[in-house]
Amino acid sequence: MKKIFKTILVIMCMMIVLSCNANEKNQRQNLNAFESKINIKDKHHIKVALLLDTSNSMDGLIDQAKAQLWDMVNELSYAKCDDEKPNLEIALYEYGNDRLNADEGYIRQVLAFSDDLDEISKQLFSLTTNGGNEYCGHVIQTSLNQLKWGNNADDLKLIFIAGNEPFSQGKINYQDATKQAHKSNITVNTIFCGDYNQGIANFWKDGADKAHGDYMAINHNHETTYVATPYDDKILMLNQKLNNTYIAYGHIGEQKMALQAEQDVNASGYSEENAVSRTVSKSSHLYKNSSWDLVDADQDNEFSYESLKKEELPNELKNKSVTEMKAYVSKKRKERKTIQDDIHQLNKKRRAFIASQKEDENNSLENAMINAIKTQAKKKKYTW
C-alpha cells in the first residue's frame, strides 16, 4: 500500500512539474504576443479629422481638398518621431449640407479614421455642396465622441474645421466642445474661408484659442496652382510600372485594384502635376494595402499563405504551391522597391525644382494645414 501511495505521489509531483513548465511556456508565449501587440499599438500616429463645410458656398474649399490631398500626404510622409516614421490616419466629416439629417445637426461621418489613402480620396471626390446650416460646435463634439482617438499621449491628434459662417451657430456651445477636445489632448485648428478679421469677429479664432490650436483664414476660391517639372513624365511612367507590381487577392482584391486606378484618374483630372503628387504618395510608407495586395500582405506577421483560398487568388497564382507563390511575390516586391526608389530620387529633384520656381502661397488649405501641423508637431518631438 505504501509503495502504491509513493508511486501515486511521484506521478502527482511529475504532473505538477510538467504543468508548471507548460504554464510557464504558455505565459511566455502570451507575454510575447502581448508585447507584440503593445509594440504595434505604441507606433506613433498622426490622426487628422477633417470637418468640411459642404454648404452651397463651399465648392472652392472642397476642390482645394481634392486637389491638395496628395501634397499634404507627401509632406506628412516626411515626418519622424524618435527616428520612427509615424502612421497617418485621416477621418472625414461633412457638415452644413441641407441634404443631411437635421436631427443630427446636418452632420455626416463620411469616413472614420483610415489609413486607406485610396478610400480617403474616393470619399473626398464624393462630396457635393448644397444648402447651409453650419453648426461648428456640434460637428466638433460629434467627431470627439465618434472617432477612436486612442490613449497614446505621443500621438499627434488634430481636428481641422473649415467653413465661413459664424462659429457660434447651433445648440452645442463651441466653447464646451473645444475645451473637451483640449482635455482629451486633441488640438482644434480653425480655417475660416474668407477675410481674416471677419473670421475673428465670427469667433473662429476664439474656437482655436480654446483648444490651443491655430486660427487661419484662406481664400477658398483660390485655384490650386502647380509647377510643371522636367521629372513629371518620368514619374508618371513609373506609376504605370508601380501599378503592375500589385497582386490582388481576396474577395475585395479586384474591387480595390479598380479603386486604385479610379483615384489615379481622379488625380490626373485636376492636372498632370497632381497625378505626379499621387504617384509620390503611392511610393511612400503611408500607402499600405495589405488587405488586398499580396506584396504588402506578405510583410504582415499575421498573414498566412496557407489560409488563402484558391478562388480568391489571381489567375497567375491559382495553380502554384505556397513556395512558388512566395517566390512570385518576392519578385514583385523587389520590382516595387526598385520603382519606389527611382520615384524617390526623381522626387528629390522635383521638390528642389519646385522650391526654386514657386512663390510662397500661404492662402491655401494645404499650406494652412501643413504649417499648423508642423508647429504643433514640434511640441511632441516630431521632426521633418
Residues 155-201 have pLDDT tens digits of 999 999 999 999 999 999 999 999 999 999 999 999 999 999 999 99
* Alpha-carbon dihedral angle through residues 313, 315, 321, 324, given to the nearest 10 degrees: -110
Integer Cα distance of 37 and 23 in angstroms: 21
Q: How far is CA 85 from CA 47, 57, 116, 158, 383, in A?
A: 14, 38, 17, 18, 10
Sign, CA dihedral 280-283-288-291, equals positive
> Is the predicted pLDDT of residue 34 greater than 60, yes or no?
no
> Is the predicted pLDDT of residue 32 greater than 70, yes or no?
no
Per-residue confidence at 154, pLDDT binned at 50, 70, 90?
Answer: confident
Per-residue confidence at 359, pLDDT binned at 50, 70, 90?
Answer: low
Integer Cα distance of 140 and 202 in angstroms: 16
Place of cell 441641407: 98
Q: How far is CA 241 from CA 234, 238, 339, in A?
A: 11, 5, 7
Q: CA nearest 75: which of 360, 351, 357, 361?
A: 351
Q: What local confidence, expressed as pLDDT, does residue 13 receive?
A: 47
Quote the DSSP letter at residue 248.
B
Q: What local confidence, expressed as pLDDT, does residue 278 receive?
A: 97
Q: What local confidence, expressed as pLDDT, does residue 30 receive?
A: 47
> Is the predicted pLDDT of residue 311 greater than 60, yes or no?
yes
CB atoms within 10 A of CB 361: 13
Query: Between 272-282 and 59-77, two packed helices, what is the crossing angle to 10 degrees?
Result: 40
Q: How far is CA 4 from CA 14, 15, 58, in A?
A: 15, 16, 89
Integer Cα distance of 179 and 339 in angstroms: 47
